[in-house]
Chains A and B, each alone.
Chain A
């Protein structure tokens, strides 16, 4: 059997296992974002949003929907890989892959695909829920799909690196709590940065999540605070950097091999 054939089957195996894992514990993986986002739609969209009126030239509810979808994609892609890979390390079941003829890049692609699958699955659930609250338009389907996939890949890689260095379960909660969540809230999910003073607009432009949220919003509504080409360029660049670093970590066996 050729090495490529083995890698392909191994990749499919990892992805199947990852999808089976998050589907098996759907109460912990798919249900919470559905509940949280519904609350956001009700509280920020309906109750508060009705008093705000328009933002960026569109109804406030329609304005926040793309941001909330991206928020769920990002956090779930990250959370899936960090918790799954760390759990594999913790239970030492990662050794199942390490004793097998699976290339590091195959392991990485398998986990990332699992993260993307969960990110997209929650994104679809939140999108379907949002249809109950507002009409969703599609300005540019290619931009929408592209930014969702690239963002999910990027945050899956982030979750992977987090899990490689984590030594206890607390370690995989630190980055989402203290970095991803604040950056998401400050990334233009609920407001346009054009409302901010110039200084804070410039500071906001250092936040990578702002680019993802605004690019997705452009794909949905056609309104954005940033240049979507810059956003795609940044995403590809960061995916390349984090991807290369992840493969290097896997090859060294950091956190896995004694």
Chain B
């Protein structure tokens, strides 16, 4: 079966000598919701830039739906929708015109372009703003406008480069719903994000890239199973007594009435509750210290750096 995206030995050396990609190989299956994660400067945007034709590769190859992005750029680009990290539309043009114009670049008939634009702008709550110059939109609206523009030709593969950066929580959740719905309808989505809970919530497969190299590329389930410890934060009703101990667990108390306990894979949290009850300590609430994927991500990047 042809992959939605296939990248083979892709490398990129910029004019200043910076080696952004060191021969990465990657495959994203059709219909997948795939996350490409990495710290700043890891090579995520360079990879996606090469795939979408905005960055010139130094060597290697990239295919979208089986079409070489250089050798068969026409078909590769027709299959692809791109939502870049930074706003890149004409600030003086109206919302509706931006989307319809983009459809024209993909060869859509004016009637089809107008119909698709209306459908997307309504779905993304931008229809009321269709006659507004894009510079007048809020940050969240601008992000949604870029999504509408990228989808106007109904691509098979959608690249989202940090689509929810700077977007408030409520809007982010509505965008997640939109993306999940789109993926269910068959669009392959490739997402880069710094919000790891976003990747954990949405994606089925994840690649972690660091310093131009793929550190991990596997399913989310497989990745999370690598997590050997997890830290839980307990908010207590009173301060910890002097000489407090929690046999079998590593713990600390970063603040009054707060207990942080590291739980290793296979250990039961019930034991912690039992011990706390025995010591007469009541738990008000409990949460994980950090997102599971975040913890794993930090560990993997640290390992790769060392």
Residues of chain A at the chain B interface (Cβ within 8 Å): 1, 3, 5-10, 12-14, 16-17, 20, 24, 87-88, 91-93, 95-103, 253, 257-258
| A contact residues around B52 at 8 Å (CB) | 98-99
| B contact residues around A16 at 8 Å (CB) | 104
12 interchain pairs, CB-CB under 8 A: A3-B74, A8-B107, A88-B90, A95-B54, A95-B84, A96-B89, A96-B102, A96-B105, A97-B105, A101-B73, A101-B77, A101-B106
Query: Considering the chains assembled together, what is the distance between the CA atoms of A8 and B105 in angstroms?
Result: 9
| B contact residues around A12 at 8 Å (CB) | 104
Query: Considering the chains assembled together, what is the distance between the CA atoms of A7 and B106 in angstroms?
Result: 8
A9 touches B55 (CB 8 A): no
B101 touches A100 (CB 8 A): no
B107 touches A9 (CB 8 A): yes
B101 touches A6 (CB 8 A): no
B102 to A, closest residue via Cβ = A96
A91 touches B90 (CB 8 A): yes
Query: Considering the chains assembled together, what is the distance between the CA atoms of A84 and B256 in angstroms?
Result: 62
A253 to B, closest residue via Cβ = B56
Given contacts A9-B107, A102-B105, contact A96 B74 (CB under 8 A): no
Mask of B79-108 contacts with A, CB within 8 angstroms, 1/0: 010101011111110000100011011111
Report B115 CB to chain A, min CB distance, Å: 15
A100 touches B77 (CB 8 A): yes
Report B140 CB to chain A, min CB distance, Å: 20
B74 touches A258 (CB 8 A): no
Query: Considering the chains assembled together, what is the distance between the CA atoms of A113 and B73 in angstroms?
Result: 25
Query: Considering the chains assembled together, what is the distance between the CA atoms of A91 and B91 in angstroms?
Result: 8
Report B255 CB to chain A, min CB distance, Å: 46
Report A257 CB to chain B, min CB distance, Å: 5
Most buried by B among A9, A12, A87: A9
Query: Considering the chains assembled together, what is the distance between the CA atoms of A7 and B104 in angstroms?
Result: 9
| A contact residues around B56 at 8 Å (CB) | 253, 257-258
| B contact residues around A102 at 8 Å (CB) | 105
Report A238 CB to chain B, min CB distance, Å: 29
Report B161 CB to chain A, min CB distance, Å: 12
B144 close to A (CB within 8 Å): no
Query: Considering the chains assembled together, what is the distance between the CA atoms of A100 and B109 in angstroms?
Result: 15
| A contact residues around B77 at 8 Å (CB) | 99-101
A96 touches B55 (CB 8 A): no
Beta-carbon contacts under 8 Å, B33-85 to A: 49, 52-56, 73-75, 77-78, 80, 82, 84
B88 touches A6 (CB 8 A): no
Query: Considering the chains assembled together, what is the distance between the CA atoms of A3 and B78 in angstroms?
Result: 10
B102 touches A100 (CB 8 A): yes
Report A95 CB to chain B, min CB distance, Å: 5
Contact of B54 among A7, A20, A24, A257 (CB under 8 A): A257
A91 touches B107 (CB 8 A): no
B105 touches A13 (CB 8 A): yes
B91 to A, closest residue via Cβ = A91
Contact of A6 among B90, B92, B106 (CB under 8 A): B106
Query: Considering the chains assembled together, what is the distance between the CA atoms of A92 and B90 in angstroms?
Result: 8
Query: Considering the chains assembled together, what is the distance between the CA atoms of A14 and B105 in angstroms?
Result: 8
Report A239 CB to chain B, min CB distance, Å: 25
Contact of B89 among A8, A93, A98 (CB under 8 A): A93
Query: Considering the chains assembled together, what is the distance between the CA atoms of A95 and B104 in angstroms?
Result: 14
Beta-carbon contacts under 8 Å, B267-282 to A: none
B195 close to A (CB within 8 Å): no
B101 touches A17 (CB 8 A): yes
A13 touches B101 (CB 8 A): yes
B249 close to A (CB within 8 Å): no
Query: Considering the chains assembled together, what is the distance between the CA atoms of A256 and B102 in angstroms?
Result: 18
Mask of B106-126 contacts with A, CB within 8 angstroms, 1/0: 111100000000000000000
B109 to A, closest residue via Cβ = A9
| A contact residues around B178 at 8 Å (CB) | none
B104 touches A96 (CB 8 A): no
Query: Considering the chains assembled together, what is the distance between the CA atoms of A159 and B248 in angstroms?
Result: 74
B55 touches A258 (CB 8 A): yes
| B contact residues around A6 at 8 Å (CB) | 74, 78, 106-107
Given A3-B74, A13-B104, A92-B86, 8 new contacts (CB under 8 A)? A9-B109, A14-B104, A91-B89, A91-B90, A92-B88, A96-B88, A101-B73, A257-B55
10 tightest Cβ-Cβ pairs between the two chains A and B? A13-B104, A6-B107, A100-B105, A92-B88, A101-B77, A9-B107, A101-B74, A93-B90, A99-B82, A258-B55
